[in-house]
A and B are shown apart, each in its own frame.
Chain A
Amino acid sequence: MLYNSNSRVLLDKVNKDIINELVADPYSTSERIAKRIDVPLSTVQRRRITLERSILNKTYGLDLGLLGWRIADLLIGIDKGDLRSTAKNIIQQNSENIISASLRIGSPEINMVAQIRYKSSQELHQVLQNIRALDTIGRVEWSELVEEVANDNTDVSRITLI
C-alpha cells in the first residue's frame, strides 16, 4: 500500500485497477469497471471521483493529422543569457506553431525542446529561421514525427517503484 506524497491518494490494488481500466478506456462506466475488477459499485464510484480529482487527468484532444498538421520536436541549444526569458521569447514569437515547450538537462548542447505543428516545410523553415535569428541561440535541430510506434501508458505498475 502506498500514498502519493502530494495529495495523499491511496495507491492500493483497487485504485491501480481502476486507473488501468480508465486509462485503457476513458469512457468506461463505473458499473463496467466494478464488474471487471470485482469490487462493489459504490467503492468504484467513490474512488473514481477521488482519483479524477487528483492524479488521473482526463482531457480531450484533436487528431492533428486529420486536420492537416504535421508535428515535430525542435531541439534548441540556448548558449547565452537567461534560459527562461529566451524560451519565453521563442514561445511568444512562434505562438501559433508551438504546442508545448520545456527546459531540459542532460544533453550538453540541447536545453530546450519545443513541440510544434506546421502545414508545410516552408512553415517549418520559417519557425527555424525565427529561432536561429535570436542572438542567444547556439543550435536548432528538428525531428518530425511520422509514426507513433507504441504507447503503453496503460501500465501503472511503475507506481510501485517509488
Chain B
Amino acid sequence: MSKNKHILALAAAAALVAGCAGSGSTAGTPSSAELDALTQQIIKADFHDKGIVKVAEAFRDDETMRLCNAADVAGKPLDNATAKRIEELNMKTIQWPSDGKFLGDWKEGEKIAQSGRGLTWTDTAKTVNGGNCYNCHQIDKKEISFGTIGTSLYNYGKIRGVTDPNSPAAQEMVKYTWGKIWNSKAYNACSNMPRAGHMGILNEEQVRHLVALLLDPKSPVNQ
C-alpha cells in the first residue's frame, strides 16, 4: 500500500502517544475510540490485494462485523436489543430456494462438508468452494477428523425428530437449517460460523446438498 498513508498512520500514532488529549484516556495511552481509528488506519496501510483476495472487499463496512468486533474487544456481548436488530437485518438477506426445493443429495453434501477449499489468496476464481464444515463440526460419525469449535451435528435430524423432511411437521426445521447455513448471523448475531450463502461462499445447489446431509433420514448423519 502507499507509503504515505503508512507514514500518516505512524504519525497519528506518535501524536496520540505524545499528546493524548482524548477523553477517557489514561496518561500516555490513547482513548479507546482513538485506538479503534488507529487500528483501521494501520489495516488500510498494511494489507495489500493478493490473488483473488481484495482489501476493499475483505474490510468493507458491514454493521454486523463492526458491532461484533467491538463487543469482543470490550469483552461484553451485544445487548439483547442490538443482537435482535442485527439478527433481523441478516434474516432479510436469506434467499430461500428459488424452486421451493430445500433438500438435495446428501452424498454431494458430504463432499462439500469435507472440502475446505476456496477464497484464499492461493485459490483461483475457478476453485470450487467447500463448506469447511468438518473443520468445526462432527457430522458423519465415520469421519474422526472433525473440529470442535461448532456443536456436533451427528444425528442432527434424528435428534430433532425429522423422520420425513417433506412432511409439513418438518418444515420449520428444514427452513431453519437452510437459513442457518445461508446466514448464521440471522439466528445468532455474532456467531463464529460463516454466512455461506450470503457471502457467496456456497451457491443454492450446494446449500441444498448440505441440508440433505443433515436432514435426509438416509444420510449417515441420521443413522
Chain B associates with chain A: no
